[in-house]
Amino acid sequence: MGKPPATFIADSLGLDFLNSVATPADAPVDWLDSGNGLIDWLTQAKLVPSDELNALKARATPGELDKVADQARALREWFRGFVRRHAGRPLTEAALKELGPLNSLLAHDEAFSRIEPGHDNGGALSLHRTRRWRSPESLLLPVGEAMAKFVCEEDFADVKACEGHNCTMLFADHTRRRARRWCIMAVCGNRAKQAAHRSRLKSRQ
Ligand SMILES: [Zn+2]
């Protein structure tokens, strides 16, 4: 059975990676449950160019890709622990000593710059960052980069968990009044409203 599309509601890709396991309806869905799942999620996250994904998929055995998905889930759950420990207040330099696993992942990167035609502001050429995608494990590198950017650029005081009952989604609250409470208003917000409505009706009986 096909999975629903992954959700990208966190306003930060590093957190959306944590939301790649969630309970959108009644049953939990893990978008990274297999090598193919990981590739689908990376496609939806636009983290790996699709020609590179296709080339890697053609070269790798399903077993190799499943192994990378195992690693991705382990990375995700390690990072969830870090984010949950630090959410709600600004990070301090002391957090760095917990980030060894992420720095080790980043150290494997084979990134380089390349001059390409075209430019957003009309110029003839532009400089693009890219990387060599040698092994299936290299699929974890853009994920690591998104996590690292999140750690270095996001104010952890704005990192919140959805208040929805049984909802595990995390997001960065960038609303002006920092009043965001729900992953998706139409899902968890409405559910909470309906529950409140039902309990009001009940208390009148
Ligand atoms: Zn929610």
Mean pLDDT of residues grouped by 10 in the chain (205 residues)? 88 97 89 96 95 94 96 98 97 97 96 92 91 95 98 98 93 97 91 84 79
Residue 49 lies in a domain: yes
Q: Answer whether residue 4 is part of any domain.
A: no
**21 forms bridges with which residues in the sheet?**
30
The strand pairing partners of 204, in sequence order, are none
Q: What is the DSSP letter of 107?
A: T
Residue 5 maps to a domain:
no
Q: Any idea what DSSP says for residue 165?
A: T
Alpha carbon of 130 to ligand 1 centroid (Å): 34
Indicate yes or no: pTM above 0.85.
yes
Structure tokens at 45: 């996250």
CATH number at residue 43: 1.10.3300.10
Distance from the CA of 6 to the center of ligand 1, in angstroms? 14
Distance 171 CA to ligand 1 centre (A): 10
The amino acid sitting at 202 is K
**Exposure b/e, 153-167, CB count within 10 A at least 16 = b:** ebebebbbbbebeeb
Range of the domain at 148: 13-204
State residue 200's pLDDT score.
85
Q: Is residue 91 part of a domain?
A: yes
Give the chain's domain count: 1
Q: Is residue 177 part of a domain?
A: yes
Cβ neighbours of 188 (radius 10 Å) = 19
Residue 8 lies in a domain: no
Q: How far apart are CA 29 and CA 167, in angstroms?
A: 12
The CA 180 to ligand 1 mean position distance, Å, reads: 11
Q: Is residue 130 part of a domain?
A: yes
